[in-house]
A and B are shown apart, each in its own frame.
Chain A
Amino acid sequence: MAGATTLSVHSRRRAKPRVITEPAWLRRTLILIALAFLGLFLVLPLVAVFSQALEKGIGVYFAAIREPDALAAIRLTLLIAAIAVPLNVAFGLAAAWAIAKFSFPGKNLLITLIDLPFSVSPVISGLIFVLLFGLQGWLGPFLREHDIKIIFALPGMVLATLFVTFPFVARELIPLMQEQGSEEEEAALVLGSSGLQTFWRVTLPNIKWGLLYGVILCNARAMGEFGAVSVVSGHIRGRTNTMPLHVEILYNEYNFAAAFAVASLLALLALATLALKKIAEGRVHGELAGDTDSTAA
């Protein structure tokens, strides 16, 4: 479903002065409508987060962040991202390599399956793991017998996070690698480099910004995921609470200042994500434009 996130990467901006356009009053009105809409729905909520977080003063703000449960939530969030992102990077690279560089039957089906998590509700993404590993799940009795805890524990939260974030890297890399083709890899192989050398020295440098772009999106979602993680977490304070879940708990306890304080950290993460994404986006264009095919003679 995040098809739209990647679409914009590959369009090349073209700014040409147009002779034929709408009358000035209409242009101004449309710009005003657009800005009002974005201001109301994007800017205002963002501003509200920070203003609410600081409403009771900077002292309360830092106290809320330094509080042990908050710190535990931050640690857990970082831990989950640190596990999920590298795994999904590995998966994304493998999937993109297979799909972009080879042709085989069932390729389109595979691409559809990779996109699947985008069209599944986060709650269902959590539910499927509860049904597998929960007490009443398929593997529940077995897990209880061997005293393995997956649901309401870290493994379950990692699984749910992996599920919702795994398309990001693959989706970003597949079109990029398809467009770049395989000639450079072939050239490297003819020149005597091994498969691994070819990957490290030729493929990876060519896709590094696209990869970074995917990692940024993957990471943002991994740290911010709420619904799926909420289902499998069990909300045990200080143990299975991630930052978004901690925000929920604080909010439901009417501890608004603290809730917004933790939320502001996540909002900062979002802003950093957007900034990095913008930079990576420009570089991905470069990776495509450096294409030797496009500019002959």
Chain B
Amino acid sequence: MSIQVRDITKTFGAFTALRDVTLEVPPGDLLALLGPSGSGKTTLLRIISGLEVPDSGQVLVHGEDVTDQPLRDRRVGFVFQHYALFRHMTVFENVAFGLRVRPRAERPSKAEIRERVMRLLQLVQLEQLTHRYPSQLSGGQRQRVALARALAVEPKILLLDEPFGALDAKVRKELRTWLRRLHDEIHVTSVFVTHDQEEALEVADRVVIMNEGRIEQVGSPEEVYHHPKTPFVYNFLGNVNLFHSRVENGKAYLGNTLIEVPKTGIHDSREAKVFIRPHLLNIERSQNGRTAFGARILHLNPAGPMVKVELETEWGDNILVELSQDRYRTLGLRKEEYVYVSPKEFQVYAEDYSI
């Protein structure tokens, strides 16, 4: 079922958590809300769930306005950041809870509850641990109990707050792939919050990048990574070199080097920002008529898949370049050497107006 969020604003005292946020999640999508802490992503998730009440705006699920619907009628699945498992109940009782608290008329029979809970525990691969208490489980197991518990009520939508936030790196990766597969299997419209860009890009169908209570960009992982709409998004997704520049006659200055700004739309400006990802910068031994600027190598780190090179540009900025191991060997770079750096791809933002 689809989710629509319309013009949501939410303040906590003097702090504005969300300003006029509008968002649409198509049915069956797995959507990531990505942003730094304080960007409003968790508040947005809690408002969609009904745990938080917006100051203004509407939430629609499957076209129906649920903004004023009481929590118990909404049928949302919510997985809490710290799982919020009922500590005095076993795994089985935790998962069965949502079914047992239903009004008598709607409550499934005991046998049905048992069957449904066991099926869910199989789905999350915890059928061996039904009688354990939450304190006897590992973090990853708790996470899966929380998920099974949320799914037990057959939610219309599934919401997850930093689902992997409290786990260590290895378990985190495993659960990530697992969640992706699970979603492909059950196909319920899902939204999860994360501050980890890698996680968002890897798991989600679509990514919403939030900053200071606003949505910066919505798009597929590929779109937002390769075509960031705003400086914030560019900066937030991956390492990036920032150059303070100015634009004159359709050309941007990198120090004294002029680079051609492609396409139209960018007008002359005294204050422009040029973003270039480290792997989109090339290092050359000579200028050779290319668009390149001079720089001195400060530090080399060849450990890892890419070689990281720190340089100081001729105008004194520090930049980072990532080279393939092959290229590094071909060039035979050494510390303190003077080389030329040429951009392969870049993005120019001038006066809040981007191309």
A and B touch in the complex (CB under 8 A): yes
Within 8 A of A (CB), among B74-98: 74-78, 80, 82-89, 97-98
Interface assignment of A26: CB less than 8 Å from any CB of chain B: no
Q: Count the B residues whose beta carbon is within 8 Å of the partner chain — how many?
A: 39
The answer to whether B134 has its CB under 8 Å from any CB of chain A is: yes
Q: Is the C-beta of B105 less than 8 angstroms from some C-beta in chain A?
A: no
Q: Which residues on B sit within 8 Å (CB–CB) of A297?
A: 138-140, 166-168, 171
8 A Cβ contacts from A244-297 to B: 287, 289-293, 295-297
**Does the CB pair A192–B98 fall under 8 Å?**
yes
Q: Does the CB pair B76–A292 fall under 8 Å?
A: no
Smallest Cβ-Cβ distance to A186: which chain B residue? B51
Residues of A near B74 (CB, < 8 A) are 190
CA distance A295 to B171 in the complex (A): 15
Asked whether A194 lies within 8 Å of B101 as measured between CB atoms, the reply is yes
- Kindly list 13 other residue pairs between chains A and B, CB separation below 8 angstroms, not including A187-B86, A206-B87, A297-B140: A186-B51, A187-B84, A187-B85, A188-B101, A189-B51, A191-B98, A191-B101, A191-B149, A192-B72, A192-B73, A292-B135, A295-B139, A297-B139
23 contacts between A and B (CB under 8 A): A184-B84, A186-B80, A188-B86, A189-B71, A190-B50, A190-B51, A191-B153, A192-B72, A192-B102, A192-B153, A193-B101, A194-B72, A194-B101, A201-B97, A202-B86, A205-B86, A206-B87, A290-B88, A290-B135, A292-B84, A292-B87, A296-B166, A296-B167
Specify which of B82, B138, B152 is in contact with A293 (CB 8 Å cutoff): B82
Partner pick for A296 among B51, B71, B135, B139, CB 8 A cutoff: B139
Residues in A neighbouring B133, C-beta threshold 8 A: 290
Q: How far is the CA of A291 from the CA of B84 in the complex (A)?
A: 9
CA distance A235 to B204 in the complex (A): 77
Contact at A197–B101, with CB atoms within 8 Å? yes
**Given the complex, which residues of A lie within 8 Å of B134, measured CB to CB?**
290, 292
With both beta carbons as reference points, the residue of chain A lying nearest to B135 in the complex is identified as A290
Cβ-defined contact, A187 with B101, below 8 A: no
- Tell me if A22 is interfacial: C-beta within 8 Å of chain B: no
B245 lies within 8 A of chain A by Cβ: no
Verify B72–A186 contact, CB threshold 8 A. no
Number of interface residues of A (CB under 8 A): 25
Collect the chain A residues with CB atoms within 8 Å of residue B77's CB.
190
Minimum distance in angstroms from B295 CB to a CB of chain A:
42
Q: Which A residues fall within an 8 A CB radius of B? A: 183-184, 186-194, 197, 201-202, 205-206, 287, 289-293, 295-297
Residues of B within 8 A of A (CB): 49-51, 71-78, 80, 82-89, 97-98, 101-102, 133-135, 138-140, 142, 149-150, 152-153, 166-168, 171
Q: Which residues of A contact B102 (CB under 8 A)?
A: 192
Residues of A with C-beta under 8 A to B78: 186-187, 190
CA distance A206 to B87 in the complex (A): 7
- On chain B, the residues within 8 Å of A292 by CB distance are 82-85, 87, 134-135, 142
Which residues of chain B come closer than 8 Å to A187, judged between CB atoms?
A: 78, 80, 84-86, 149
Chain A: minimal CB distance from B181 (Å) = 21
For the complex of A and B, the 8 pairs showing the least CB-CB separation, nearest first, are A297-B139, A191-B98, A183-B84, A193-B101, A296-B166, A290-B87, A187-B84, A205-B88
Q: Which residue of B lies closest to A190 (CB)?
A: B78
Complexed CA–CA distance, A175 and B78 (Å): 27
Task: Give, as a whole number of angstroms, the nearest-CB distance from B37 to chain A.
Answer: 17
A280 to B23, CA, bound (A): 50
Q: How far is the CB of B222 from the nearest CB of chain A, in Å?
A: 31
Which A residue sits closest to B167, measured CB to CB? A297
B87 partner, pick from A184, A189, A201, A296, beta carbons under 8 A: A184
- When A187-B78, A191-B149, A192-B75 are in contact, do A291 and B101 touch as well, CB less than 8 Å? no
| Nearest Cβ on chain B to A245's Cβ, whole angstroms | 42
Q: Which of B75, B77, B97, B140 has the most CB of A within 10 A?
A: B97
